[in-house]
A and B are shown apart, each in its own frame.
Chain A
Amino acid sequence: MMMLTLYWAFFQVGLFAFGGGLAALPLIREQVVVIHPWLDMAAFTDLVTIAEMTPGPIALNAATFVGNRVGGVAGAVVATLGCITPSLIIVLILARLYSVWRDKAAFAGVLSGLRPAAVALIASAGMSIAILALFGEAGAISLQAMDLVSLMCFGAALFLLRKFKTSPILIIFGAGIAGAAIKLAFNIP
């Protein structure tokens, strides 16, 4: 019964979280703090921190974390499945429509409007991450708040990507290791 409740709670998170990423957070909070007594607010805040600094979508990270607390490893699997079921159903329907209608003029028109929007959305998310990386959590954009080590890592990473098409995974880890080594070696906060 517990497993069913867990599945249904994360099914709703998957079903109503439009826009991805942080958009899922209020829904997760509603399910795991307000409706069900699975986490208190402090544990929820920790969950967000962990979800942000580990790989994978935030909703799946949250599902695993909460599932583990409620029902061990089986709970983690059940919550994850609940979270991906709505996507599986809805996206497969859309994918089917796409492969049937792609060449119809009206549908092609809709797609030609969506393509620039997709680029804009990625750019907007990129800006938010860049601001976080270069100016820190406080979000104050000023020269004093600028993290020079991160700026150097960012510049070097962008240069390598544009000039040599270096693998993104190598770039992310390279930037992490180089930045952390510089900061700890010179004791920069």
Chain B
Amino acid sequence: MTAKPLRLSTLFLSVLKISAFTFGGGYVIVPLMRKRFSEDLQWVKEEEMLDMIAIAQSAPGPIAVNTSIILGYRLLGIKGALASVLGTAIPPLLVLTLISMFYEAFRANRWIAALLGAMRAGVAAVIVDVVWTMAANITKKRKATPIILMIAAFIAVFIFKVNIILVLLFCGFLGFLDAMRSSLKEAKP
């Protein structure tokens, strides 16, 4: 499989489509983006995608917006970033404008409530699938530090509800120390 040609219109339309279907908050956009840009289009490597997600996490603002800005910038510079953030913002703008007009009817409809409830099960499966793939990429390198970090970070966030920024700062700092330690080892005769 070869990479598809890099086009501004393809970037805009891909992000627009993904944003229109990211039910359930920012994290759902991550699996969709990874699938589209790493697997289908092959514009970014899996590892770079993870870097971008980590950077998007460390900045304030919606994850979906941040991820699309950094992805657009990495691919096509400032114009890529603008196209990509527009693509992300347009669907919620349209959908919510429509809904705020027909708000009462929308809320009371039994079909819509059942549909939205069952869609969550699909969303959960999509996230489990992507976590499975990403975690396998980390464990198959057979290095202890990243595996321990991954498990510890999960326990800290999910069970102990530690602030996400603290977790990211701590993990980034440990990674930095690890890199410094190995470069010191190399420097010694």
Query: Residues on A close to B: CB < 8 A?
Result: 14-24, 46, 49-61, 64-65, 68-69, 73, 76-77, 80, 83-84, 86-88, 90-92, 94-96, 98-99, 102, 105-106, 108-130, 132-134, 149-151, 153-154, 157-158, 161-162, 167-169, 171-180, 183-184
Contacts and interface: CB of A to CB of B under 8 A. Distances in A.
Q: Chain B contact residues: over half helix, strand or loop, or mixed? A: helix
Contacts of A157: 121-122, 125-126
Contact of B32 (A120, A169, A179): A169
Given A46-B103, A120-B157, A150-B121, A161 B60 contact: no
Given A49-B107, A54-B92, A173-B119, A90 B100 contact: no
Contact of A153 (B32, B70, B118, B138): B118
B169 to A, nearest CB: 10
Given A116-B147, A172-B122, A58 B62 contact: yes
Contact of B149 (A21, A110, A116, A178): A116
Contact of B178 (A84, A109, A129, A172): A109
Interface residues of B, number: 102
A118 B59 CA distance: 13
Given A21-B63, A109-B175, A117-B150, A68 B96 contact: yes
Contacts of B23: 53-55, 172
Main secondary structure, interface of A, reads helix
B13 interface: no
B175 A111 contact: yes
B3 interface: no
Interface in B37-59: 47, 50-59
B117 A114 contact: no
Nearest to A53: B116
A108 B66 contact: no
Q: 9 tightest CB-CB pairs across the interface, nearest first? A: A113-B175, A179-B118, A109-B179, A56-B92, A175-B122, A57-B62, A87-B61, A126-B127, A157-B125
Nearest to B110: A184
A83 B96 CA distance: 15
Nearest to A171: B122
A173 B32 CA distance: 14
Given A150-B121, A176-B116, A94 B61 contact: no
B8 interface: no
B120 interface: yes
A124 B157 CA distance: 7
Given A88-B85, A120-B150, A184-B110, A130 B118 contact: no
Given A56-B95, A69-B100, A183 B118 contact: yes
Contacts of B147: 116
Contact of A177 (B21, B56, B85, B115): B115
B6 interface: no
B35 interface: yes
Given A86-B60, A122-B27, A180-B115, A19 B73 contact: no
B81 A88 contact: yes
B174 A113 contact: yes
A60 B65 CA distance: 9
